[in-house]
Amino acid sequence: MAKLQGKGNCQTCPIRYRSIFADIPEDKLPEVIGDFRTSILTLTHNEVIYSEGDAPTHTYTLRKGLIKLTKSLPDGRIQIVRIIGHGELFGFDGLANENHNHTALALTDIEICKLPMSGLERIRINNPSVDKAMMQGWIQGLRAAENMLLDLGAKKAPERLASFLLKWCKDTEQGQWIDLPLSRTEIAELLGLTVETVSRFLSDWKRKGYIEDTRSTVRLVDSDGLNQVVDGYSK
């Protein structure tokens, strides 16, 4: 169950530089937000923040951890449609008078900032920089969906998996361990593959010396090898 850690303070928020208020000068922020009040919540792995079909009353910013957005398919399967990272805004369907189109779950232990939808709408209307930042969030989500469609529709299984690993590790040096909190089942759900396919290719690439992994971490040993997988299966 979500635990309330206290009220948020937009002026002292450690991720304000990545938030929708990033472009507002610090001395102007109290005037902009007025009586707008946020809450800081913590949730543990796999706890639900909101469910598909819920009527939104808040939107959220992720302060710590990772979140997965999922949709239920008619046959009962679950498809992960996006991974939300540090500083990202999510759950803003209500600003378009829509119910949530997905379920949001904690992929790791997380800390989120809960923003009341009504107050946020007032701030957005009166402050172009906030409106622009929220628009950028929508565009980011749209681009993520477009890239997902490209991966699912145009790439074969090994291409999808190799591309995923390269993107996941893109900000780390080769040989450096990085957290990978997704299970093989979750990787399969994200990439539209079977668990058996994911396991087979990961095992093959470990034997070839492309990667090393543990239950919750991974490192690229030979990124050129994975790039060759992507290039080779793209031809």
Q: Taking a C-beta distance cutoff of 8 angstroms, is the pair 83, 108 a contact? A: no
The pLDDT-based confidence of 233 (bands split at 50, 70, 90) is low
Are 147 and 160 part of one and the same domain? no
Residue 19 has pLDDT above 90, yes or no: no
Do 84 and 139 fall into the same domain?
yes
Distance CA(74)–CA(55), nearest Å, equals 21
Where in the sequence is the domain holding 49, given as residue range(s)?
3-153
Does 166 lie in the same domain as 128?
no
pLDDT at 79 over 50: yes
Q: Residue 96 region, left (φ>0) first, then alpha (ψ -120 to 50), else beta?
A: alpha
CA 184 to chain centre: 17
Mean pLDDT within 131-135 = 87
pLDDT tens, residue by residue, 142-196 = 888 888 777 777 789 999 999 999 999 988 888 899 999 999 999 999 998 999 9
Which one is predicted more confidently, 92 or 207?
207
Whether residues 111 and 197 fall in one domain = no
174-188 pLDDT, tens digit per residue, is: 889 999 999 999 999
Q: Are 66 and 108 in contact (CB under 8 A)?
A: yes
On whether both 93 and 166 belong to a single domain, the answer is no
Integer Cα distance of 123 and 121 in angstroms: 5
- Give the CATH number for residue 95: 2.60.120.10
198 and 221, same domain (yes or no): yes
Q: 27: helix, coil or strand?
A: coil
**Cα separation, 47 vs 38, whole angstroms:** 20
How many Å apart are CA 209 and CA 219, to the nearest integer?
A: 11
pTM attached to this predicted model: 0.83
Tell me the C-alpha to C-alpha distance, in Å, between residue 40 and each of 70, 90, 112, 114: 23, 15, 6, 6
Last residue of a domain, one of 124, 153, 182: 153
Count structural domains, the chain: 2
- In the prediction, which pLDDT does 232 show? 73
Q: 196: buried, middle or exposed (CB in 10 Å: 19+, 13-18, 0-12)?
A: exposed
Residues 163 and 130 in one domain: no
